[in-house]
Chains A and B, each alone.
Chain A
Amino acid sequence: MALTSDDMRRLAALARLELTPEAEGPLVTQINGFFDLVAQMNAVDTTGIEPLAHPTDAMGEAVALRLRDDIASEPASEAIRDTNQRSAPAVERGLFLVPKVIE
């Protein structure tokens, strides 16, 4: 089942991307070309196989993942906040500015 231009526009909206009309056609062709490759995955019997989300999960007990304590470990100060916001496009009094969302 091949993706259509409508599908591509729907996906673009979900991904918060805008596609130009010129870009859309080649994209549909390229992505459908890729999904031709994906078809071979359907034939693989994976009954009873646990998904591997993370390679650490395949390495055995010795290297199990862990959680650290849920505590703030970074010091807080206005100076640090200002440094962290240095590369933000629009900031005022320590706040990130965005277009108006509530009328």
Chain B
Amino acid sequence: MSEIHEWRVAELSRQLQAKAVSSVEVTQHLLARAEAHQGLGSFLHLDPERALAQAKLADAQRNDGHAAPLLGVPMAHKDVFVTEGMPTTAGSKMLAGYQSPFTATVVRRLMEAGTVSLGKLNCDEFAMGSANENSAYGPVKNPWDVTRVPGGSSGGSAAAVAARLVPAATGTDTGGSIRQPAAFCGITGIKPTYGLCSRYGMVAFASSLDQAGPMARSAEDCALLLSAMAGPDLDRDATSLDVPARDFTQTINQPRAGATPDKPLSGLRVGLPKEFFGAGVSTDVNEAVQAALAQLTALGATLVDISLPRTELSIPVYYIIAPAEASSNLSRFDGVRYGHRAAAYDDLIDMYQKTRSEGFGDEVKRRILIGTYVLSHGYYDAYYLQAQKIRRLIANDFQAAFQQCDVIAGPVAPTVAWHLGEKANDPVASYLADIFTLSISLAGLPGMSVPAGFGEGGMPVGLQLVGNYLKEPELLQTAHQFQQVTSWHTASPKESVL
């Protein structure tokens, strides 16, 4: 029997169901492991007492005949989800010591499905970053090479899952914050269609882009988790989609309609945007992605050349829209209702200024300033409105592409994970590295990162799969079938490195 921490969610679920192990045993094992690997920086808060109480309850429920697939499965949550009874910092000094009076919908749903919460995971401050170096509580290290970044902003989630501290974690993705860290850490993650998972209780960064999703070690695990997380939350989130909850595990094992078991992806047209395979992609990443595409072909898929002509434009468009929304959302941090307040000030305005200047880190300030500028009188039309118009063109480009294909494939990021500190003082270099994830977020489409091999320095490479709106079942099925014939997702970082 392999070690408990090596079990993926589906395996853990089977072992718990068979009563080969109890949730308390699994929880104790993972808590000890998380404790031993605090040096990775992935956990901001571990809650052994609460976790063990939940595990005990899950075991009691199982003895009473309950058999929900996630019952007793431990996981942890990105610290942008508010949680009653556990602190929430969003990676910011601004929220040091903050205790939310309520719990985010996706966390509540996962808990109702029986999961055990081990604690809260590090992330870039207010989810702003691509390397997890913008957290006020220190950087997270990549378990494959601790001198490298885990990606961001869900870096703590990705690192904890990759290092086998938890089988699964929640993440959020505004411009790539699930997909890119999943790729950098060699795990599987899905950003669903915008609105599929409730934003209620997610500390807001850019409300027209923010979306929650699961991060785990296989597409099957992501399907299990997403089935619990997704679903309408109409009274709590005005942008929650009114589409019935689905069981995403139902179709992943089946061949596509009309396909045979040996060619399960027959009939699947995979679109390759030429803009995702140009000079901007490093050789190692390109080679791994090409090998993955060959694998999809072997499964019966056909490759189709497509174009997403405004891929490069998605960088300025995103980095105008997201900071504009952030400058508005983060105006709530004023030192009055919650969070940090400066110790000394002259008057109300001075209190606001000192509070915000002390509480926010450099990247958050940069984005607030950019957002304030592009929304200000005289610049609104040229920047913000123009960006929103190009956002429409980008969304239209995807609809044109989906006339020719069912899913779109390409790299998640142009390179493997870079070294800690490498881009820390060059925000624009970091923005440029988001080129392959931003347009998907702007359009609100579902996107996945699937492990697809290794590149420079033995670092993981992620294959990105993008579907049309609400096509999560097709994405998860494609990824799952790929994982039936590949083993990249089962590779784990060396214990000695951690």
What distance in Å separates the Cβ of B414 from its nearest Cβ neighbour in chain A?
Answer: 16
The answer to whether A55 and B387 have CB atoms under 8 Å apart is no
Contacts of B339 in A (CB 8 A): 87, 89
Which residues A53-75 have CB closer than 8 A to chain B? 53-56, 58-60, 63, 65-68, 73
The 8 A CB mask of A15-50 against B (1 = contact, 0 = none) is 111110001000100110110011011101010011
| Given A17-B356, A54-B208, A87-B338, residue A11 in contact with residue B469 (CB < 8 A) | no
Provide the bound-state CA to CA distance between A100 and B349, in Å. Answer: 11
> Interface size class for chain A?
35 or more
Q: Which residue of A lies closest to B372 (CB)?
A: A15
The answer to whether A34 and B431 have CB atoms under 8 Å apart is yes
Provide the bound-state CA to CA distance between A30 and B396, in Å. Answer: 32
Contacts of B101 in A (CB 8 A): 80, 83-84, 86
Contacts of A3 in B (CB 8 A): 373
The answer to whether A86 and B444 have CB atoms under 8 Å apart is no
Provide the bound-state CA to CA distance between A42 and B379, in Å. Answer: 12
Is B341's beta carbon under 8 Å from chain A? Answer: yes
Contacts of B391 in A (CB 8 A): 51-52
The answer to whether A17 and B369 have CB atoms under 8 Å apart is yes
Tell me the dominant secondary structure on chain B's binding face. Answer: helix
Q: Which residue of B lies closest to A38 (CB)?
A: B316
| Given A40-B312, A101-B348, residue A56 in contact with residue B393 (CB < 8 A) | no
The 8 A CB mask of B350-372 against A (1 = contact, 0 = none) is 01111011001010011011101
Contact of A98 among B319, B348, B356, B382 (CB under 8 A): B348
Contacts of B356 in A (CB 8 A): 15-18
The answer to whether B388 and A51 have CB atoms under 8 Å apart is yes
Tell me the dominant secondary structure on chain A's binding face. Answer: loop
What distance in Å separates the Cβ of B335 from its nearest Cβ neighbour in chain A?
Answer: 6
Contact of B376 among A14, A18, A31 (CB under 8 A): A14
Is B291's beta carbon under 8 Å from chain A? Answer: no
Q: Which residue of B lies closest to A51 (CB)?
A: B388
Contacts of A99 in B (CB 8 A): 345, 347-348, 351
The answer to whether B443 and A66 have CB atoms under 8 Å apart is no
Contact of A44 among B97, B341, B370, B393 (CB under 8 A): B393
The answer to whether B389 and A27 have CB atoms under 8 Å apart is no
The answer to whether B395 and A96 have CB atoms under 8 Å apart is no
The answer to whether B388 and A53 have CB atoms under 8 Å apart is yes
Q: Which residue of B lies closest to A37 (CB)?
A: B316
Number of cross-chain contacts by CB at 8 Å: 179
The answer to whether B316 and A41 have CB atoms under 8 Å apart is yes
Provide the bound-state CA to CA distance between A50 and B339, in Å. Answer: 38
The answer to whether A50 and B373 have CB atoms under 8 Å apart is no
Contact of B327 among A15, A44, A60 (CB under 8 A): A15
Is B337's beta carbon under 8 Å from chain A? Answer: yes
Q: Which residue of A lies closest to B100 (CB)?
A: A87
| Given A86-B101, A96-B337, residue A37 in contact with residue B431 (CB < 8 A) | yes
Provide the bound-state CA to CA distance between A6 and B209, in Å. Answer: 32
Contact of B392 among A12, A49, A67 (CB under 8 A): A49
What distance in Å separates the Cβ of B424 from its nearest Cβ neighbour in chain A?
Answer: 12
Contacts of B195 in A (CB 8 A): 55-56, 63
Contacts of B242 in A (CB 8 A): 63, 66
Provide the bound-state CA to CA distance between A63 and B243, in Å. Answer: 8
Contact of A37 among B327, B368, B428 (CB under 8 A): B428
Contact of B238 among A19, A44, A65 (CB under 8 A): A65
The answer to whether A46 and B386 have CB atoms under 8 Å apart is yes
Is B224's beta carbon under 8 Å from chain A? Answer: no
The answer to whether B315 and A37 have CB atoms under 8 Å apart is yes
What are 27 A-B contacts with C-beta separation under 8 Å? A11-B372, A14-B372, A15-B372, A16-B331, A16-B353, A17-B365, A17-B369, A27-B369, A34-B319, A34-B428, A44-B313, A49-B389, A55-B194, A56-B194, A58-B396, A58-B399, A59-B193, A60-B469, A65-B238, A80-B101, A87-B97, A87-B339, A88-B336, A89-B340, A89-B341, A96-B337, A99-B347
Enumerate the 8 nearest inter-chain pairs by beta-carbon distance, A residue then B residue, closest first.
A55-B444, A51-B388, A89-B341, A46-B389, A52-B392, A58-B395, A87-B338, A18-B357
Known: A41-B317, A44-B386. 10 other contacts (CB 8 A): A15-B327, A17-B365, A41-B313, A41-B320, A44-B310, A50-B389, A51-B385, A52-B391, A63-B242, A89-B336
